[in-house]
Chains A and B, each alone.
Chain A
Amino acid sequence: MSDPAQNEPPEAAQATPTQATPGQAAPAPADATPLLEARGVTRSYGNVAALAGVDLQVRPGEVVGLVGDNGAGKSTLLKILCGAVQPSAGQLLVNGEPVTFRSPKDSRERGIEVVYQDLALATELSVAENIFLGRERRRPGPFRLLDRPRMAKEAEAALESLAIEIHSVRARCGLLSGGQRQAVAVARAVLWGSNVLLLDEPTAALAVMESEKIGQLVAEVAKRQVGVVLVSHNMPQVHALCDRIVVLLRGRVVADLRRDETDVQDIVMWITGAALSRN
């Protein structure tokens, strides 16, 4: 069982690499510089503190689960990490370097990419067009026309490397299932060299089989030494996928649990606050 006074747990206890499970690469050791770090991040709305001094670290190849009840501050923290919301106090660091994100554009430039539950793709455009949206491949020449064959080929190769099954990259995204769309959005973020992937409820709207596939994709992404933050309500999935699980309660980190030291019931107790009163 974890130490109850977990607001600022000692460094070493935080991210000891967990036993690598089959098909999952071991995340970087605890002393590796975090790809993304939040230090004492606070956000107040008037007198209400949505976040009060939150610390979070994401290391290369590490999947960090961010859990908590509604209103615990998960989405506020996610918005701060991607620059959509600015912290009232505290510091963000990318590769150990202090940064200020004024907008999601700033965070994207530093290799931090968010994949939202929906809204991620243009439904009228094809899979390949979505993957290359804003970064189209073009033919040489005065008109710089689109190089569709090249984009299709590269998109196919990319999806294949992540073991994403889609019958044709020329299919309109509107015709794909929710899980396939999610996969395309994740692939897109990874392909464009993001080092940190923030996933907001990636499987909330998906069928069981589809969310299992997204789980495999997350593991695949982590293998590429990308740091992943997974916000989810699906506790079994969080436990299965994440190396560490950070629990938020009323704007504070109440637990930072290693996967092999905890189980679903334990996580749920931390979320509800039952673990605090128990100890």
Chain B
Amino acid sequence: MSSPLRHDVQGGGTAPDSRAEELALEAADQKRADERERKLGRRRRFIEQLQGEGLILVLIVVFVLMWISSPFFFTQQNLLTAASVISVLGVMAVAETLLVISGEIDISIGSVMASTSVLMGVMVSQGLNVWLAAVIGLLFASGVGVVNGVITVYFKINSLVTTLGTYSIFLGVAYAISNTATVSIGGSGFQVLGSGKVGSIPVPVFFFLGLWLIGLLVARFTALGRHIYATGDSYDAAVRSGIQANMLRMGLFIATALSAGLAGVITTSELGSAAPQIGDPYLLSVVTAVILGGASLRGGRGTMLGTLVAVAILGVLQNGFALLQFSTYLEDTVLGSLLIIAVLTDRLVRRAER
């Protein structure tokens, strides 16, 4: 550049020594800023470790605590049962993680699960084949995803509010249709989805791990994954880069609802019956797992590994509480506390960056 830039609106020359002085001040400022940045970097790394390695540490601690507390905990039988139970949550947590990374949230999943199950019950009791009923149930679940997506994305409504609304709507529908009655469902080998085993490993575990692997692939190794992160991180930047951010979020709402439908089908198969209550435990637990795993409610952040570890932590706690015969109310309290802790940790990470 030919002439040096100055901030003062003076066309003429500034004295050369004052220019040098200005530069020196500038350099000192820069140095201070660098130092501050380094310090913040250290703090940020520490908190990130809390979220990453720290989470694994928490898993190990609760695992060992349960092992010590109950002689039944560390047995193959029990661990496989626990894995099967938590897999239903895991199936939903994978899609929910991607949705949260994209900057949205879906808390209607519990009621989608329940209404899918009840719908299946109605169809089977009318004489429909149970597998066909399951497929229709999944279609219905995707439909709820479309509703969530359209309201949130195209009418620009906060997804927490949208899905709180659809949660209530479809839970009400589930109870009304079923008249709170349980319908037994089975035959055609349908129970294999929920209670079948490959070797000694329960089938639901394969659903979870399979979906988790797909989620990992998408999040880390595909362009789609980058677009999901970018959309949640900076919606404007994503749109300016030609990313169809609205379509992307819409798709993730559908995927999340569909996975809730799948969780409903698996649970129905496992119980051998359709019931409107089956979604109740998942209103908060799925979101807790996702946030505990490090996904940020503000979008742009989260990992599949974090979600896996968080799901495992919840699985161990749930199983341990059952073995120790703790009150289920206490479980709710612990779940709520975990959610608050997870949100606070996220807040600390964000603050450490400023």
Residues of A within 8 A of B (CB): 21-24, 104-105, 108, 119-125, 129-130, 133-136, 138, 143-146, 174-175, 177, 207-209, 211-212, 215-216, 219, 234-237, 239-241, 263-266, 268
When distances are taken between beta carbons in the complex, the residues of chain A under 8 Å from B333 are none
Residues of A within 8 A of B241 (CB): 133-135
Distance A263 CA – B11 CA, assembled complex (angstroms): 6
Q: Is the interface of B mostly helix, strand, loop or mixed?
A: helix
In contact, A219 and B1 (Cβ under 8 angstroms): yes
Is A136 in contact with B226, judged by CB distance below 8 angstroms? yes
Q: Are A122 and B7 in contact (CB under 8 A)?
A: no
Residue with the highest number of chain B CB atoms closer than 10 Å, among A21, A125, A134: A134
Residue from the list B4, B41, B237, B301 in contact with A133, Cβ < 8 A? B237
User: Does chain A have a CB within 8 A of B35?
Assistant: no
A169 → chain B closest CB, angstroms = 14
- Flag if B9 contacts A125 (CB, 8 Å): no
**Residues of chain A within 8 A of B221, CB atoms compared:** 143, 145-146
Residues of B within 8 A of A125 (CB): 226, 229-230, 233
**How far apart are the CA atoms of A177 and B222 in the complex, in Å?**
28
Interface residues of B in 4-52 (CB under 8 A from A): 4-11, 22-23, 26-27, 29-30, 33, 37, 41
| In the assembled complex, B2 has its CB within 8 A of some CB on chain A | yes
B240: interface (CB < 8 Å): yes
B7 CB, min distance to chain A CBs, angstroms: 6
Number of interface residues of B (CB under 8 A): 41
- Please, which residues of chain B bring their CB within 8 A of the CB of A123? 233-234, 300
A contact residues around B233 at 8 Å (CB): 122-125
Q: Which residues of B contact A (CB under 8 A)?
A: 1-11, 22-23, 26-27, 29-30, 33, 37, 41, 217, 221-223, 225-227, 229-230, 233-234, 236-238, 240-243, 300-301, 353
Contact call B7/A234, Cβ cutoff below 8 A: yes
Q: List 19 A-B contacts (CB under 8 A).
A: A23-B2, A24-B2, A120-B237, A124-B229, A134-B242, A145-B217, A145-B222, A146-B221, A175-B37, A211-B5, A215-B1, A215-B5, A234-B7, A235-B9, A236-B6, A237-B5, A239-B11, A240-B1, A240-B3
| Contact flag A133-B3 (CB < 8 Å), given A143-B217, A174-B353 | no
Extra contacts besides A208-B22, A209-B23, A236-B9 (9): CB < 8 Å: A104-B240, A125-B226, A125-B229, A143-B217, A146-B222, A209-B26, A212-B1, A240-B1, A268-B9
Contact A133 B243 (CB under 8 A): yes
Q: Give chain A residues whose Cβ lies under 8 Å from the Cβ of B223.
A: 136, 138, 144, 146
Chain B hits for A23, CB < 8 A? 1-2
Q: Chain B residues near A104 (CB, 8 Å)?
A: 240
Whether A122 and B353, one on each chain, are in contact in the complex, defined by CB atoms closer than 8 angstroms, is: no
| Closest residue on chain A to residue B231 by CB atoms | A122
Closest 10 CB pairs of A and B: A134-B241, A264-B11, A21-B2, A136-B223, A122-B233, A134-B242, A122-B230, A133-B241, A124-B233, A263-B11
Bound-state CA distance A266–B223 (Å) is 51
A133→B26 contact, CB < 8 A: no
Residue from B2, B22, B27, B33 whose CB has the most chain A CB atoms within 10 Å: B2
Enumerate chain B residues within 8 angstroms of A212, measured Cβ to Cβ.
1, 4-5
CA distance A207 to B7 in the complex (A): 10
Write the nearest CB–CB distance from A191 to chain B, whole angstroms: 12
Q: Which residues of A contact B225 (CB under 8 A)?
A: 146
Contact status A121-B234, CB under 8 Å: yes
Which of B27, B223, B225 has the most CB atoms of chain A within a 10 A radius of its CB? B223
Residues of A within 8 A of B26 (CB): 207-209
CA–CA, A23 and B1, complex, Å: 6
Q: What is the bound-complex CA distance between A130 and B226, given in angstroms? A: 9
- Given A105-B242, A133-B237, CB of A265 within 8 Å of CB of B2: no
**Which residue of B is nearest A129, CB measured?**
B226
Report whether B1 and A216 are in contact in the complex, using a CB–CB cutoff of 8 Å: yes
| A144, B225: Cα distance in complex, Å | 12
Assess the A209–B30 pair: CB atoms within 8 A: yes
